[in-house]
Amino acid sequence: MNRERRFNLRTTALFFALLAIILCGLVALVRTAASILESRPLWSAYLVVMGVAVAVLCRSRWRRFSAARYARRAAEALEEAAERASDSLEGVTSETSETTAPDDVRADAQDELDADGFEHAIAGLCARDACREVEVVGGAGDLGADVVAITSDGLRVVIQCKLYGDGNKVGSQDLQRFGGTCFTVHEADVAALVTTSDFTAPALEYAQQCGIVCVNGEELEAWFDGTGPSPWEGAGIEA
């Protein structure tokens, strides 16, 4: 059975008495602060500055604590991301090495290559034979150069690659376009045109006049097997 609270005069009086004491104390504190501010403004300013500094310091320490915690979390996340990126790069490197491996220039693998893959395969042969600064530069606006490399003797080799079928021979027009840029634009010491097929007689004649090395499909396989010379060795040019 619930009983209603009865009005207690003593409790009510004590409550209002305490409230009055607290209010009087606050008023006295405000008056004291005002008098200090009027009589000693420098001390008041100093106390205010100290109070603000303490508040900022406490807040700064809390922020530092929070920042350190978040920094540790960020470092862990970055480390995990770096490991994932490293694994991805290793995968890309292995795929690239498979694409540019010299094995790809064998006759039984030529059908699976596209023009870009053939250029990378020739670049792989150059790298295998101790060339440095090997670059695949073929593409739009390449002005006839597909692979550029520097031999161990310091010769600059510029190679154009033609992935042709057996019934499609490299003609004199192909040689003429390459011959117009390989020496003057690309500053080649050795200029070579490498194909999976063969050359027409006029193309070979033009290449001989201009000093361009022609490497047909059989000579390409010999280069790969090591039974034939590389294009710069076949040119007979010494540094």
What is the chain written as a DSSP string? ---PPPP-HHHHHHHHHHHHHHHHHHHHHHHHHHHHHHH-HHHHHHHHHHHHHHHHHHHHHHHHHHHHHHHHHHHHHHHHHHHHHHHHHHHHHHHHHHHT-GGGGSTTTGGG--HHHHHHHHHHHHHHTT-EEEEE--STT-TT-SEEEE-TTS-EEEEEEE---TT--B-HHHHHHHHTTTTTTS--SEEEEEESS-B-HHHHHHHHHHTEEEE-HHHHHHHHHTSS--HHHHHT---
Residue indicated by tokens 């009510």: 12
For residue 161, list its beta bridge partners: 194
- Full-model pTM: 0.54
Q: Give the pLDDT confidence score for residue 105 in this predicted structure.
A: 54
pLDDT tens for each residue of 53-88: 666 666 655 544 454 554 455 545 545 644 554 554
If one compares 110 and 158, the residue with the highest pLDDT of the two is 158
d(CA 71, CA 233) in angstroms, rounded, equals 58
Asked if 144 and 212 touch (Cβ cutoff 8 Å), the reply is no
Q: Which of 1-10, 45-54, 87-96, 230-239 has the lowest mean pLDDT?
A: 87-96
Confidence band (pLDDT; 50, 70, 90) for 7? Answer: low
pLDDT tens for each residue of 93-145: 444 344 344 455 554 445 567 888 999 999 999 999 999 999 998 776 678 89
- The neighbour count for residue 25, using CB atoms within 10 Å, is 10
Asked if 163 and 113 touch (Cβ cutoff 8 Å), the reply is yes
